[in-house]
Amino acid sequence: MVMNGYLVPAALTGFFCAVFAIFVQSVSSMLDLEVVIAVSFVSGFLGSLFSKFCWKGEER
- How far CA 9 is from CA of 27, 30, 33, 54, in Å, comes to 27, 30, 24, 14
Residues sharing a CB contact under 8 Å with residue 1, sequence separation 6 or more, in sequence order: none
Q: What pLDDT is stored for residue 51 in this prediction? A: 76
More confident call, 56 vs 46: 46
Q: How far apart are CA 24 and CA 35, in angstroms?
A: 12
Which parts of 1-60 fold into alpha helices (H)?
Answer: 2-27, 33-59
Kindly tell me the sign of the dihedral angle through the C-alpha atoms of 40, 41, 47, 50: negative
pLDDT digits (tens, 9 = 90+) for 18-45: 887 787 777 777 778 888 788 888 888 8
pTM of the model: 0.57
List the domain boundaries for the chain: 2-59
